[in-house]
């Protein structure tokens, strides 16, 4: 999938350090947000006596009302809140900034239809272009949603937390999980279908339900029926012949399930976990038919029991389902986050939480005992609510949970805002190029003069470019790898400069002592679509002329034997308007992906702008 993979090593020290630094800085801001809010809350409570407990003027606040939250909702809110926090922490893994598109998103979409890959590729490319901002955004948004859910017990803020969870979950399910793989072959509940985050979406939707729906008798039956119908469907798919789940071993190879668990067992994880998964693999290889039969029957029976909506059947079914989920989570999903780049604990915990909440919702609970949180504001209009006294009362009665929820919202903004700002630029973050090129060397000495011939056969000297910033590099016109990429980066840098490009000349000197005719440079220009770039010069000359320029600029153009291209260093010089060399960049394009090319173009354009400003 083009664009998704930046090609940078996931452990690249430059990117990892920058990601850690971004998280640290944003973490400090997050702490500051909570500290300021906490301080403000304490101050308000100290200064406004109306907030004191036992004051008859203070209506029953959220703390009192929280008791009325039904158990099923409490379970979903706390369970999924903790899951979001955990997922956010997983997103802070150092490899995540570079690795998520290539090691999580791309494999997830690899076997999906083309249109799914297209959709996912867009998101992966976006992430690859701005790995710092995207990585940090995922961390803070998910931790923020989690804290928000945990802190907000009821009221609009709590419902909004559910909606935020559902909305973000949908984004992750579509773009991060490639629709949970539901359009890919081999769909099975055992491996996590229909995608863990879709269950987060469902949970978020349930948390966002209005309070009047909390105690309706149909809610529990609907949750269980939806889950039950899905499980029955999954049982049918599991039983479907030809999908590879029945045999433990097929053609001397592990069957679908054993193959999956075998791979899982080989990922890095504590030894005892690997041993458990390996043992299950061996068991499945030996008794594949029985394992699948058990799975099919269990899913079908549990699903059917859920579908009845009867409490006496649902209770043992929920217990059995929870046990099954836990067994699957340990033995097949391998806890979901060991090995590779785990982004969540996979689908079994959310499934168990959802089923359990459905069961709890079958019993309406003490709905009659619920007291309205604060009937007064509901009756009063907005004019009443913005009166200083009302505002003071609202502020004074704000609970610590509400403060935490506001802080959590701040966390989400903290993550989302830089990402949104980055999105306004279609160009990749220069950190990618910096990770390949290392730091540029700042220089200040007169550039050695030269006189060569351009691609149109006209004589060009460095002196004739005086007054312009020159981005100078050395390209082999018949090079198969780096040179075409560097030329594309130069062309893109020229475009990024906009009107300033008229003060910048993009110059390449031929770096091949054999293929150095003007016709060679013209063919190269046509190949790289440089013929219409007004400030592009591809210079060549006789071998003695070229040798002199190479010597002056530290280029060793080596003729290598046996079908190798000319060996020469990838270097770019930034020469200011006064003809002084101001910077030397390692222009090795690295993996040459769309992200790194864009990143190098930004780096070059920034260097040119800097030279324009400083001369």
Binding site residues, another protein, CB under 8 A: 113, 182-187, 193-194, 216, 218-219, 221-222, 225-226, 229-230, 232-234, 236-237, 240, 243, 309, 478-481, 483-485, 512-515, 517, 519-520, 522-523, 526-527, 559-567, 592
- Closest approach of another protein to the CB of residue 298, in Å: 17
d(CA 513, CA 220): 79
Q: How far is residue 349 from each of residues 280, 355, 452, measured CA to CA in Å?
A: 20, 10, 69
- Closest approach of another protein to the CB of residue 113, in Å: 8
- Closest approach of another protein to the CB of residue 119, in Å: 15
Find out whether 540 and 452 touch, Cβ atoms under 8 Å: yes
Tokens of 198: 């879709």
Find out whether 45 and 396 touch, Cβ atoms under 8 Å: yes
d(CA 434, CA 71): 52
d(CA 546, CA 566): 14
- Closest approach of another protein to the CB of residue 369, in Å: 24
Residue appearing with tokens 């798919």: 237
- Closest approach of another protein to the CB of residue 193, in Å: 7
Of 240, 324, 341, 246, which is closest to residue 19 (Cα–Cα)? Answer: 341
d(CA 592, CA 485): 6
Q: How are beta strands 504-510 and 536-539 bridged, if at all?
A: parallel
Q: Which is nearer to another protein, 179 or 329 (CB)?
A: 179
Q: Which is nearer to another protein, 292 or 374 (CB)?
A: 292
CA angle 371, 53, 145 (to 5 degrees): 65
d(CA 181, CA 192): 9
- Closest approach of another protein to the CB of residue 351, in Å: 13
Q: Which is nearer to another protein, 50 or 523 (CB)?
A: 523
- Closest approach of another protein to the CB of residue 1, in Å: 18
The alpha carbon torsion through 26, 31, 36, 40 (nearest 10 deg) reads 140
Nearest 5°: phi and psi at 183? Answer: -100, 5
Q: Which is nearer to another protein, 416 or 549 (CB)?
A: 549
Q: Which is nearer to another protein, 59 or 186 (CB)?
A: 186
Residue appearing with tokens 């059917």: 304
- Closest approach of another protein to the CB of residue 307, in Å: 9
DSSP E strand stretches across 370-466? 441-446, 451-453, 459-461
- Closest approach of another protein to the CB of residue 523, in Å: 5
Q: Which is nearer to another protein, 187 or 447 (CB)?
A: 187
The 3-state DSSP class for residue 539 equals strand
- Closest approach of another protein to the CB of residue 560, in Å: 5
- Would you give the DSSP letter of residue 211? G
Q: Which is nearer to another protein, 86 or 230 (CB)?
A: 230
Q: Which is nearer to another protein, 213 or 297 (CB)?
A: 213
Q: Which is nearer to another protein, 27 or 186 (CB)?
A: 186
- Would you give the DSSP letter of residue 451? E
For residue 574, what is the enclosing H or E element?
strand 571-575
Q: Which is nearer to another protein, 229 or 533 (CB)?
A: 229
């Amino acid at each position: 999938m083009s664009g998704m993979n930046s090609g940078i090593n996931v452990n690249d020290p430059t990117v990892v350090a920058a990601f850690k630094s971004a998280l640290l800085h944003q973490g400090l801001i997050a702490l500051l947000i909570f500290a300021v809010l906490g301080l403000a809350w304490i101050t308000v409570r100290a200064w406004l006596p109306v907030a004191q407990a036992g004051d008859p003027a203070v209506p029953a606040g959220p703390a009192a009302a929280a008791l009325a939250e039904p158990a099923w909702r409490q379970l979903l809110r706390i369970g999924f809140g903790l899951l979001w926090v955990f997922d956010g922490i997983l997103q802070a893994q150092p490899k995540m900034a570079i690795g998520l598109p290539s090691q999580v998103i791309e494999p997830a979409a690899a076997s999906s239809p083309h249109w799914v890959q297209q959709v996912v590729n867009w998101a992966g490319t976006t992430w690859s272009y701005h790995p710092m901002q995207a990585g940090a955004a995922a961390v803070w948004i998910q931790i923020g949603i989690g804290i928000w859910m945990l802190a907000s017990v009821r009221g609009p803020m709590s419902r909004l937390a559910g909606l935020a969870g559902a909305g973000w979950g949908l984004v992750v399910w579509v773009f991060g999980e490639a629709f949970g793989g539901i359009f890919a072959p081999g769909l099975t509940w055992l491996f996590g279908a229909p995608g863990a985050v879709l269950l987060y979406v469902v949970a978020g939707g349930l948390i966002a339900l209005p309070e009047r729906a909390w105690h309706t008798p149909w809610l529990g039956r609907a949750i269980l029926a939806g889950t039950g119908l899905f499980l029955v469907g999954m049982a049918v798919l599991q039983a479907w012949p030809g999908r590879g789940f029945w045999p433990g071993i097929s053609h001397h190879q592990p069957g679908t399930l054993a193959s999956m668990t075998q791979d899982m067992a080989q990922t890095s994880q504590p030894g005892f976990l690997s041993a458990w998964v390996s043992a299950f693999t061996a068991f499945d290889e030996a008794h594949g038919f029985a394992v699948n039969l058990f799975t099919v029957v269990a899913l079908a029976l549990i699903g059917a029991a859920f579908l009845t909506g009867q409490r006496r059947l649902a209770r043992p079914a929920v217990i059995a389902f929870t046990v099954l989920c836990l067994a699957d989570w340990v033995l097949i999903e391998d806890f979901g986050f060991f090995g590779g780049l785990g982004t969540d604990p996979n689908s079994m915990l959310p499934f168990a939480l959802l089923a359990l909440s459905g069961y709890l919702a079958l019993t309406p609970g003490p709905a009659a005992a619920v007291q309205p949180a604060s009937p007064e504001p509901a009756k009063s209009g907005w004019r009443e609510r913005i009166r200083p006294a009302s505002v003071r009362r609202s502020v004074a009665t704000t609970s610590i949970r509400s403060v935490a929820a506001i802080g959590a919202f701040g966390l989400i903004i903290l993550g989302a805002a830089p990402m949104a700002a980055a999105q306004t630029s279609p160009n990749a973050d220069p950190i990618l190029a910096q990770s390949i090129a290392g730091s540029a060397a700042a220089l200040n000495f007169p550039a050695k003069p030269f006189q060569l011939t351009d691609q149109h056969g006209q004589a060009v000297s460095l002196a004739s470019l005086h007054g312009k910033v020159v981005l100078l590099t050395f390209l082999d016109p018949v090079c198969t790898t780096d040179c075409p990429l560097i030329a594309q980066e130069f062309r893109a840098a020229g475009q990024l400069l906009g009107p300033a490009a008229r003060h910048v000349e993009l110059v390449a000197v031929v770096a091949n002592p054999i293929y150095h005719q003007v016709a060679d440079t013209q063919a190269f220009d046509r190949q790289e679509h440089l013929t219409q770039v007004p400030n592009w010069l591809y210079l060549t000359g006789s071998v003695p002329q070229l040798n002199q320029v190479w010597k002056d600029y530290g280029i060793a153009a080596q003729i290598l034997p046996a079908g190798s291209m000319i060996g020469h260093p990838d270097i770019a010089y930034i020469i200011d308007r006064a003809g002084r060399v101001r910077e030397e960049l390692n222009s090795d394009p690295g993996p040459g992906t769309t992200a790194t090319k864009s990143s190098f173009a930004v780096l070059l354009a920034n260097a040119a702008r800097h030279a324009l400003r400083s001369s």
